[in-house]
Amino acid sequence: MPHLEISDLITVTDPLSGARMPVRRGDVVRRLDEAGDPRAARIVAGLPAGPDDVLDPLAVDRLMIGVHTELQRLSEELRIGERLVHVLDPLFEAIREIAGRRGRFRLVDIGSGLGYLVRWLASTGALGPNVELIGVDLDAALVAEADRLARAEGLDCRFVHGNAFDLPEIATVYVSTGVLHHFRGPALAEFFEAQADSQALAFCHFDIAATRLAPVGAWMFHRARMRHPLGRHDGVVSARRAHSDETLLRAATVPGIRPLLYEPKGLSNPFCTTLRPVLGIRPYLEDPLRQALGRSSRRLVGAEHLTRGGPPRHDAASWSASGAASGAGR
Amino acid sequence: MNPVLPLAALGLVDAAFSGFRAYAGRDARIRKHRAVLRASLRGLAVGAVLLLAPALTAGAVLLLAEDTDRAYGVLADGGTGFLVPIGAYALAVGLSLAAYFALPYRASTLSMVVGLGPLTLARPLVVAGACAGALVAGGGWTSLLVGVVAGAAVLCVEPYVHRRWYAFPV
Ligand SMILES: C[S@@+](CC[C@H](N)C(=O)[O-])C[C@H]1O[C@@H](n2cnc3c(N)ncnc32)[C@H](O)[C@@H]1O
């Protein structure tokens, strides 16, 4: 049975035009029922719709903004900003070393939602003054709200309506938090490929660590901290949909990119690791990045790490091949 | 030991935290120290009013008792029994909070995920445990009554503040 997130089903944007598509409540309820999730179906059945059974777009926008505002609380409490800066700061140090100290760099957060990460980075100046901060999201209402919040606090960052697969903004580094699990099957590799094909020097995508504890922890934490049933539901489903280390590294193995995982399973305490990133860097950045990370660089591993202790659970042959290919690119 | 003062202090501290929780998740701004302070003060004010209910209940029990001294002694015993689970809970919350603020982000996450999150969920259970503690300590039905009223009062602060001031995102 597929695990479906309600938020993916009730907000549908045409990826080409960016236009909002009408969504029939009955269709969503049926899909959730068919996926064996009657609780989610009940939540959607309770959402307001017009006489044509199309979900009220304004009500859906308000709901999504409310749920994302609650979601931000989790990011705040789990100190997601610091977790990212722990990796991004050395990454920018490595980039500065190669590109020159005076360069102007750009960080683009894909699927930025309400833009907490970008606004937090702007507010704290954690990455230094020469990094421009931009958030991109497919949901126009979230983009507008992120922009409003940034203006209200006079933060130096901006938000753009756009699609992760057709990125409107070039970047030095692409990042995301909690977005990877939305991309399934070939879409995950396409997501990384789009960035590898751009001028970006690196990507660094944080998502829920796929541990056995993740769904239990997500249930507990969302239950304790979030009020809306939609947020609680999707929070747990996200943890169930988290990609394994193998899947992430395999998908990030694209030409011209050295794929790396920070804090993979086995190298990290599952209680402490809520989100952790898959990185893709231009191969010449690896040594400076490891130097900048210092002792923490032992937490940064490539595909060869997964093969060393015996064949990984899936696709041992393709693993060795892709590991060798990325190793050859170094 | 008279348990009234520590119980009142814990009740008020809990009310301030309840005020914070009623607000948290409703404001997506980054800098919000003043808003956090305001929400905590709202919780404190609401808690101070609601905690009059157990105080009045205890007062009524004493007024109606034939032997006031004995009734006072029974309530004091019950209060001490009520305090033990609450005190243990407060200690666990205090340690988790200290760890959350003092430790680096990884350990801080741990104290949030295994400490503060589940501890919030456990509040009704802790109140129930405290009521049982009051009975076990020999507080009788009068302590149970005061304990139930006190428990209901502290558990009501968060939903009330939330509905009154934070029904919609800020
Ligand atoms: C779980 S939310 C995470 C939001 C935010 N990064 C955070 O950590 O709070 C996933 C976000 O990805 C966005 N998203 C999903 N698919 C997308 C796509 N193809 N392009 C851009 N954004 C997308 C959604 O609109 C949503 O805001």
Nearest CA in chain B to A214: B113
Q: DSSP assignment of B81-110, as one string?
A: HHHHHHHHHHHHHHHHHHHHHHS-HHHHHH
Residues of A in contact with B103 (CB under 8 A): none
Nearest CA-CA partner of A176 in A251, A80, A111, A105: A111
Name the DSSP letter for residue B113.
Answer: I
CA of B31 vs chain A CAs: smallest distance (Å): 8
Q: Which amino acid is at A177?
A: T
Q: DSSP assignment of A46-59, as one string?
A: TS-B-TTSBB-HHH
CA-based max dimension of chain A: 62
Q: Each residue of A262-316: pLDDT tens digit?
A: 998 877 777 777 899 999 999 999 999 999 999 999 999 998 877 755 444 443 3
Q: How far apart are CA A131 and CA A109, in angstroms?
A: 12
What backbone torsions phi and psi does residue A105 show, to the nearest 5 degrees? -120, 165
Q: DSSP assignment of chain B, as one string?
A: ---HHHHHHHHHHHHHHHHHHHHTTS---S--HHHHHHHHHHHHHHHHHHTHHHHHHHHHHHHH-SSHHHHHHHHHHHHHHHHHHHHHHHHHHHHHHHHHHHS-HHHHHHIIIIIIHHHHHTHHHHHHHHHHHHHHTT-HHHHHHHHHHHHHHHHHHHHHHHHHH-SS--
ipTM of the complex, rounded to two decimals: 0.89
Task: Report pLDDT for A309.
Answer: 53
Nearest CA in chain A to B105: A79
Q: How far apart are CA A9 and CA A159, in angstroms?
A: 23
Q: Which residues contact B63 (CB under 8 A, 6 or more apart)?
A: none
The residue to which tokens 């995508």 are assigned = A205
**Contact of A193 with A139, CB cutoff 8 Å:** no
Q: DSSP assignment of A55-71, as one string?
A: B-HHHHHHHHHHHHHHH
Q: CA neighbours within 13 Å on the CB side: how many for A166?
A: 9
Is residue A205 in contact with ligand 1, taking CB distance under 6 Å? no
Task: Report pLDDT for A103.
Answer: 81
CA of A153 vs chain B CAs: smallest distance (Å): 7
Q: Do A79 and B31 touch (CB under 8 A)?
A: no
Q: How many other C-beta atoms lie within 10 A of the C-beta of residue A142?
A: 23
Residues of A in contact with B167 (CB under 8 A): none
Q: Do B169 and A66 touch (CB under 8 A)?
A: yes
Specify the 3-state DSSP secondary structure of A80: helix
Q: Which residues contact A247 (CB under 8 A, 6 or more apart)?
A: A188, A314
**Contact of A68 with A114, CB cutoff 8 Å:** yes
Name the DSSP letter for residue A136.
Answer: E
Q: CA neighbours within 13 Å on the CB side: how many for A108?
A: 23
The residue to which tokens 């935290």 are assigned = B17
Residues of A in contact with B25 (CB under 8 A): 69-70, 72-73, 225-227
Is the Cβ of B27 closer than 8 Å to some Cβ of chain A? yes
Q: Which amino acid is at A186?
A: P
What is the residue-level pLDDT of chain A in tens, covering all 330 positions?
789 999 999 999 988 888 999 999 999 999 999 999 999 999 999 999 999 999 999 999 999 999 999 999 999 999 999 999 999 999 999 999 998 777 899 999 999 999 999 999 999 999 998 999 999 999 999 999 999 999 999 999 999 999 999 888 899 999 999 999 999 999 999 999 999 999 999 999 999 999 888 899 899 989 999 999 999 999 999 999 999 999 999 999 999 999 999 998 877 777 777 899 999 999 999 999 999 999 999 999 998 877 755 444 443 333 333 333 333 332
Nearest CA in chain A to B159: A227
Q: How far is CA A299 from the centre of its chain?
A: 20
List C-alpha distances in Å: B123 to A82, B128, B153.
29, 9, 12
Closest CB from A77, A123, A224 relative to B118:
A224
**Contact of A178 with A116, CB cutoff 8 Å:** no
Specify the 3-state DSSP secondary structure of B39: helix
Is the Cβ of B113 closer than 8 Å to some Cβ of chain A? yes
Kind of pairing, strands A158-161 and A131-137?
Answer: parallel
Q: How far is CA A99 from the centre of its chain?
A: 26
Q: How far apart are CA A61 and CA A59, in angstroms?
A: 5
Look at the pTM and tell me if it is higher than 0.95: no
Structure tokens at A244: 């394994």
Q: How many other C-beta atoms lie within 10 A of the C-beta of residue A237?
A: 21
Is the Cβ of B1 closer than 8 Å to some Cβ of chain A? no
Which residue from A13, A108, A182, A230 has its CB within 8 A of the most atoms of ligand 1, so it is best to mutate? A182
Q: How far apart are CA A151 and CA A144, in angstroms?
A: 11
What is the residue-level pLDDT of chain B in tens, covering all 170 positions?
689 999 999 999 999 999 999 999 999 999 999 999 999 999 999 999 999 999 999 999 999 999 999 999 999 999 999 999 999 999 999 999 999 999 999 889 888 888 899 999 999 999 999 999 999 999 999 999 999 999 999 999 999 999 999 998 88
